[in-house]
Structure 1
C-alpha cells in the first residue's frame, strides 16, 4: 500500500526540481540581476560605467557582511533582528575620544569586541534563558540603539585616525578595499558553512534541533556560536561603515537588519532553518542593492522602491512555501 501511495503521488517536473535546488535558485537570482542590468542600460547611460558598478559593489559590501552572519543564524533555525544597531553601537564605541587615542588597532578590536559581546548575550539569553530569538534580538536592537545614543549624545563622532579613515579610500587594482573585505568574509563564511563540521552541524540543528541533540550535538553551545558569528560580522561591518562615513553614529544601520533578512530570504534560505546557501544570500544583497541604484539613477521615489522590495520578498516566500509543500521538498 505504501508503494502504491508513493506511486500515486504527483511527480514534480524536471523544471520544478531544478528550481527547488540551490543551484536553480542561484541561477534564478543571476537571471534577475541580468534583467535589472538590461533595465539599467535601457533607462540610463551611466549604469554600466565602471564608477557606477563599483558604487553598487561598495554599497553591497557593508550590508553583505551583515548578511553573512544572518545567513548562519537563520540556517541554524534562529533570527537576528539586532545586527543593524549592534553595528551602530560598535561604530560609536570604537570612535569615542578615549578609544581613538589608542590607535587603529584598538579601535578595530573594540568594534569587533562589541559585536561579539552582543552576539554572545543574544545566544546566552536564547539558549539558557529559553527566550525566543525574535524577542531577544528585538530587545538587543532597542538596547543597542539606546546605548549608542547615550554614549554619543546623539551626535556623530568624527574619525580622526587616518588609518581607519583611509580604509574606504584605499583601492587595489582599481577596486575599493571594502569590496575585498566583503569578498574575504564571504569566502571564509562559504568554507565554514560548506566544508567544515561546524557548517554541517548548523544545517542539522536548523533542520531538526531535537534530532541533532539526540545525535549527540551540543545544540546550546552551537546556537551561541552562531550568534557570536553574527556579532563578529557586525563588528567587521562597523569598521567598514565607520571608514566609509568617517563617523561613528547611532544612526548607522537603520533598517539594515530588514535588508539582510530579506536578502537571505530571496536567496533561498528557509526561515524555519535547515536549508540555505550563502551564495544565494549574497546574490540577494546584490539584487536589492542594484534595485536601489536603479531607482537613484532614475530619480524615482523611495516609496516606490520599498514597494518593489516588498513585492520581491512576498514572491520569494510564496516560492519557498510552494517548494516546501511539493513532493520534491520531502
Structure 2
C-alpha cells in the first residue's frame, strides 16, 4: 500500500517537474505535426520538407540557446537579432573577405563570432557596471547595431565571395545539412554548460535571487558580463550560419528575430522572471514555432494568421508559467 501511495504522489511531482514540462512540449509538437500531415499530406511529411524545417530552425535555435542563459539569469536581450545582422555585414566587408582570401575562409566565421561577442560584452558591461536595466540597454544596442550595419554596408547587400565558405555550409553529412549539425552541437554545449557546470548553477542562482547570490560569494556583476557575452557569441555563430544559408550579408538579417528567440525560450519553459532554464525545452520550443510556420505556409495561410497563432501560444505559455510558479510557492 505504501509503495502505491508513493507512486501516486511521485507521478504529479514528476509531471510538474522538468520532465513533465518537456513531455508536454513534445506532445504539443507531435499534435502540430499530426495537423500538418492531415492538412498538408505528402508535402509536409516528406524528408525534404523535414530538412527544410530543421534548416530554418537551426539559425534561430542558436540565438535562442544564448537567450536561454540571459532569461534564466533574470535578464533580457532585445538586441540579438540586430547584432546577428551586424555580424553578417562585418564578416562580408571587403577587408574581411580579402583577409579570408589570404588566410582561410574561417576568418569570416571568427569575425562574426568576435563582433557578436564584443556587442554582447558591451551590453553586459553597461548592465552590470553601469547599472542600466537590461531592457533599455539592449534596446539601445538593437538600434545601434542595426544602424552601424546600415552604415558599414551603405544599405547594400554584400555577397560572400569565398566558394570554399559556401561549399562548407552546403555540406550534408549523413544526409543532414551542416547547419543542423551546428545547431545540435551548440544545443549540447549549452545543455552541458547550464546543467553540469558551476557557470550554469551560478546563472540559475542569480536569476533566482541576485542579492542572495552576491552574499553567497558569487561575483554577480562579472557573471552578468559573461552571460551577455555568451549571448553575443551565439548571435555571431548564428550570423555565420545565416551567411552560409543565404550567401549574403545585409543589415536586414535578423529583423525581429529577438522576439522569435524570446518566444521559443518562454514556450520552452524558461521562466521570464529568471531562476529556471531549460535548453531541451528551448530546442523543442524552436521546433514548435518552425513547424507551425511550415504548416501555415504549406496550407497558404496568411502571415497575419501565423502571428495571431504565435501570439496565442506565447500568452498560453506565460499563463501556464504563472500557474506553476504560484503552485510551487504555495507548496
Q: Secondary structure at the match of 1:131?
A: coil
| RMSD between aligned residues | 1.4
Q: d(CA) in 2 for partners of 1:163 and 1:130?
A: 44
Aligned-partner Cα distance in 2 for 1:134–1:75: 15
Give secondary structure in 1 for the equivalent of 2:132: coil
**2:53 matched residue in structure 1:** 56
Is residue 111–residue 235 contact of structure 1 (8 Å, CA) maintained in 2?
A: yes
Gapped regions of structure 2 (runs ≥ 5) = 1-7
Structure 1 residue 268 displacement after superposition: 0.7
Q: Deviations over 1:18-62 (max 9, x none)?
A: 443111111111001110111011111211110000111000000
Q: TM-score, normalised by structure 2?
A: 0.94
Equivalence map 1:182-261=2 (5 Å)? 182-261=183-262
| Residue 4 (structure 1) aligns with | none
Tell me the equivalent position of 1:69: 66
Q: How does 1:73-222 map to 2 (within 5 A)?
A: 73-103=70-100, 104-222=105-223
CA displacement at 1:163 relative to structure 2: 2.2
**Which residue is 2:3 aligned to?**
none
Size of the aligned set, in residue pairs, is: 319
Counterpart CA distance in 1 for 2:65 and 2:265 is 9
More helix by share: 2
Query: Deviation of residue 243 (structure 1)?
Result: 1.0
| Runs of 4 or more above 4 Å deviation | 12-16, 327-330
| Maintained 8 Å contact 1:323/1:329 | no
> What is the deviation of 1:106?
1.8
1:167 CA drift (Å):
3.0
CA distance in 2, matches of 1:226, 1:54: 31
- Structure 2 counterpart of 1:35, from 27, 31, 34: 31
Alignment map for 1:294-305 (pairs within 5 Å): 294-305=295-306
Partner of 1:274: 275
Structure 2 equivalent of residue 7 of structure 1: none
Shift of 1:168: 2.8
Offset from partner CA, 1:275-329 (integer Å, 9 cap, x none): 1211001100000000000011111000000000000000000001111111467
Between the aligned partners of 1:186 and 1:56, the Cα distance in structure 2 is: 17
Match of 1:311 in 2: 312
The alignment partner of 2:275 has SS state of: coil
TM-score, normalization by structure 1: 0.94
Residue segments in structure 1 that go unaligned for 5+ positions in a row: 1-11
Residue range with higher mean Cα deviation, 20-29 or 67-76: 20-29
- Distance between the aligned counterparts of 1:148 and 1:24, measured in 2? 43
How far residue 13 of structure 1 moved from its aligned partner, in angstroms, is 8.0
Q: Kindly state the Cα deviation for residue 105 of structure 1 after the two structures are TM-superposed.
A: 2.3
- For 2:146 and 2:208, the matched residues in 1 are separated by 32
Summarize the Cα distance change of 1:301–1:204 in structure 2 as closer, same or farther, 3 Å threshold. Answer: same
**For residues 328 and 17 of structure 2, what CA distance do their matches in structure 1 show?**
13
Q: Distance in 1 between matches of 2:267 and 2:213?
A: 27
